[in-house]
Structure 1
Amino acid sequence: MPTQKITRFMGIEEEEDWTFADADTQYMTHGLHPYPARMIPQIARRLIIRYSKPGSDIVLDPFAGSGGVLVETSLKLPSKLATEEIGARKSYGIDINPLALLLAKAKTTPIKPTLLKSAVKKLLSKVRDEIEAYESGRLHVSAPDFFNIDYWFKPKVKNELQIIRENIKTINCDDDVKNFLKVCFSKTVRDSSNTRSREFKLYRIPKNELAKYDPDVYKIFKENVEKGIRGMEQYYNACEKSQWARPKLLNEDTRDRTSIPKESINLVVTSPPYGDSRTTVAYGQFSRLSMQWLNIDDSSSGSIDKKGLGGIKTKTLEHSLESHTLSLILEKIASKDEERAKDVLSYFIDLNKCLNEISRVTVHEGRVCIVIGNRTVKGFRIPTNQIITELGEKAGLEHDTTHERRIPMKRMPWENAPSNVPGEKVSTIHQEYIIILRKM
Structure 2
Amino acid sequence: YLNIALGDARDQSVEDNSVDLIVSSSPYMTSYEYADLHQLSTIWLDFTEDLKQYRTRFIGSSSRPENRHVLRSEFANNIVLEMKDKNKKLSQEIGSFFLDMEQVFDESYRILKSGGRCCFVIGNTSLKGVDILNAQIFAESIQHSGFTLDRIIKREIPSKILPQTRDKKTGRFTSSSEATSIAYPVEYIVIGKM
TM-score (norm 1): 0.39
Which amino acid counterpart does residue 59 of structure 2 have in structure 1? L
Paired letter, 2:189:
I
Aligned to 2:107: 357
Find the counterpart in structure 1 of residue 183 from structure 2: 428
Cα separation, partners in 2 of 1:418 and 1:407, compared to 1, 3 Å: same
1:112-123 equivalence runs, <5 A: none
* Displacement after TM superposition at 1:354 (Å): 0.9
Q: Could you tell me how far apart the structure 1 residues matched to 2:117 and 2:36 are?
A: 33
SS at 2:154's partner residue? strand
Distance 2:69 2:48 in 1: 35
Deviations 1:229-261 (A, max 9, x none): xxxxxxxxxxxxxxxxxxxx33x32222x2200
Corresponding residue for 1:437?
192
User: Which ranges of structure 2 fall in alignment gaps of 5 or more residues?
Assistant: 172-177
Q: Percent identity?
A: 26
Report the alpha carbon displacement of residue 347 of structure 1 after superposing the two structures with TM: 0.4
C-alpha contact 1:414 1:430 (8 A) present in aligned 2 = no
Residue 154 of structure 2 is matched in structure 1 by 404
Corresponding position of 1:271: 25
Alpha-carbon offset, residue 271 of structure 1: 0.9
Relative distance call for 1:431 and 1:395 in structure 2 (3 A) is same
Q: What is aligned with 1:91?
A: 3
Alignment of 1:14-93 (within 5 A): 55=1, 90-92=2-4
Deviation of the 1:304 alpha carbon: 4.7
Which of the residues 416, 424, 435 maps onto 2:167? 416
The structure with the larger Rg is 1
- Kindly tell me: are residues 374 and 425 of structure 1, through their superposed partners in 2, closer, same or farther at Cα, counting changes over 3 Å? same
Q: Report the AA paired with residue 437 of structure 1.
A: G
Task: Please report how far the alpha carbon of residue 396 of structure 1 lies from its aligned counterpart in structure 2 after TM superposition.
Answer: 0.8
Q: Cα–Cα, structure 1 residues 304 and 375, in superposed 2: closer, same or farther, change >3 Å?
A: farther
Name which of 66, 77, 98 aligns with 1:315. 66
Indicate the residue corresponding to 2:83 in structure 1: 333
Contact kept in structure 2, 1:329 and 1:382, CA below 8 Å: yes
Offset of residue 380 of structure 1:
1.6
Identify if the C-alpha distance between structure 1 residues 288 and 352 changes in structure 2 by more than 3 Å, giving closer, same or farther. Answer: same
State yes or no: 1:368 paired with 2:118.
yes
Greater share of helix residues, 1 or 2?
1
In the other structure, the counterpart of 2:13 is: 259
Deviation at 1:368, TM superposition (A): 0.3
Does residue 299 in structure 1 map to residue 54 in structure 2?
no
- The match for 1:157 is none
Q: State how many pairs are aligned.
A: 187
Cα deviations by residue, 1:17-60 (Å, 9 ceiling, x for unpaired) = xxxxxxxxxxxxxxxxxxxxxxxxxxxxxxxxxxxxxx4xxxxx
Higher relative contact order (CA 8 A, sep 6+): 2
Residues 188-240 of structure 1: per-residue CA shift (max 9 Å, x gap): xxxxxxxxxxxxxxxxxxxxxxxxxxxxxxxxxxxxxxxxxxxxxxxxxxxxx
Q: 2:139 aligns with which of 358, 375, 389?
A: 389
Task: Provide the C-alpha distance between the structure 2 equivalents of 1:424 and 1:287, rounded to a whole number of angstroms.
Answer: 25
Instruction: Give the direction of change, closer, same or farther, for the CA distance of 1:424–1:287 in structure 2 (3 Å limit).
Output: closer
SS at match of 2:56: helix
Q: Which amino acid aligns with 1:265?
A: V
Consecutive unaligned residues of structure 1, counting only runs of 5 or more, are 1-54, 56-89, 93-248
In 2, Cα distance between equivalents of 1:344 and 1:382: 9
Pair 1:280 & 2:47 matched? no
**In the alignment, residue 272 of structure 1 is paired with which amino acid?**
S
CA distance in 2, matches of 1:351, 1:309: 7
Give the residue type in structure 2 aligned to 1:432.
E
Mapped contact 1:268–1:368 kept (Cα < 8 A):
yes
1:434 maps to amino acid: I
Higher strand share: 2
Q: Which amino acid aligns with 1:380?
A: V
What displacement does 1:289 show?
Answer: 3.5
Q: Distance in 1 between matches of 2:97 and 2:50?
A: 20
